[in-house]
C-alpha cells in the first residue's frame, strides 16, 4: 500500500529523528535510491541496536564488535526490519549520512542526491517476504513523491561504494524486487 510522504516524512510509521543529517546542497535533485543491508551485531537481528546507532546512543561496550562504531555518526532515511516494520530517521528532503564517500555514474557524493534505505539483514540469510513487501510499498511511495527516482535509479550500496561495501549482498534478490515494481 502506497503511503503519503508529507514534508519528507512517510505518514503512518514510527519516526525516530536522528541527529546525523544536514541540508542537501541547494542544487541537489533527488534522483537515486540506495538500498543497504545492516545487522548489529553482524548476522544477528533485533535488539534495538540499529535504532541506537542511527540515534547516536549505541553503547560501544554492549558487544565486542561495537567498539569500532564508537563515535560513528551515520544515519539512513529509513530502515525495514525483518518483520516488515519501517522506521524513519531522517526526512527524505534532508541529507542522511548513509553512503559515505560514493559515486554513481560519475556523479560523486550520493548522499547529496540519494535516499538511503536500510534492510535489516546480512549476507548469510535471505531477506524476508515482509521486507520485500514493505520495500516495494516504500519504493512506490518514494517514486510517487520523487518521480526522478525511476527503476533505473535504484542501486545497492555496493554499486556506489564498491571498494568499501558489498551490501545488500547476494542475499538480496534484485530480480524479485525490481520485477514487482
pLDDT single digits (tens) 63-91:
999 999 999 999 999 999 999 999 999 99
Q: Is 44 a catalytic residue?
A: no
Q: What predicted TM-score, i.e. pTM, was given to this entire model?
A: 0.98
Are 90 and 75 in contact by the 8 Å Cβ rule? The answer is yes
Per-residue pLDDT of 125-165, as tens digits, reads 999 999 999 999 999 999 999 999 999 999 999 999 999 99
Tell me which of 7, 11, 118, 120 is the catalytic residue.
Answer: 118
Tracing cell 545488500 back to the chain, one arrives at 168
Give the number of other CB atoms < 10 A from CB of residue 79. 23
- The highest-level CATH class for domain 5-180 is alpha beta
Domain boundary assignment for the chain: 5-180
562504531: which residue's cell?
69
Computed over every residue of the chain, the mean pLDDT equals: 97
The separation between CA 161 and the C-alpha centre of its own chain, rounded to angstroms, equals 14
The band of 3, judged by pLDDT with boundaries at 50, 70 and 90, is confident
Amino acid at each position: 500500500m502506497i503511503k503519503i510522504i508529507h514534508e519528507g516524512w512517510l505518514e503512518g510509521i514510527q519516526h525516530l529523528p536522528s541527529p546525523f543529517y544536514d541540508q542537501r546542497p541547494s542544487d541537489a535533485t533527488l534522483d537515486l535510491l540506495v538500498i543497504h543491508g545492516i545487522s548489529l551485531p553482524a548476522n544477528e537481528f533485533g535488539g534495538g541496536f540499529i535504532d541506537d546507532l542511527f540515534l547516536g546512543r549505541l553503547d560501544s561496550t554492549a558487544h565486542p564488535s561495537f567498539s569500532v562504531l564508537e563515535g560513528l555518526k551515520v544515519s539512513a532515511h529509513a530502515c525495514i526490519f525483518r518483520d516488515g516494520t519501517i522506521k524513519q530517521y531522517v526526512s527524505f528532503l534532508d541529507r542522511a549520512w548513509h553512503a559515505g564517500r560514493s559515486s554513481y555514474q560519475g556523479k560523486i557524493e550520493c548522499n547529496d542526491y540519494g535516499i538511503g534505505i536500510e534492510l535489516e539483514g546480512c549476507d548469510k540469510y535471505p531477506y524476508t517476504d515482509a521486507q520485500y513487501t514493505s520495500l516495494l510499498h516504500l519504493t512506490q511511495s518514494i517514486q510517487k513523491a520523487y518521480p526522478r527516482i525511476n527503476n533505473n535509479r535504484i542501486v545497492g550500496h555496493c554499486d556506489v561504494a564498491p571498494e568499501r561495501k558489498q551490501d545488500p549482498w547476494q542475499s538480496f534478490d534484485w530480480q524479485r524486487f525490481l520485477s514487482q515494481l
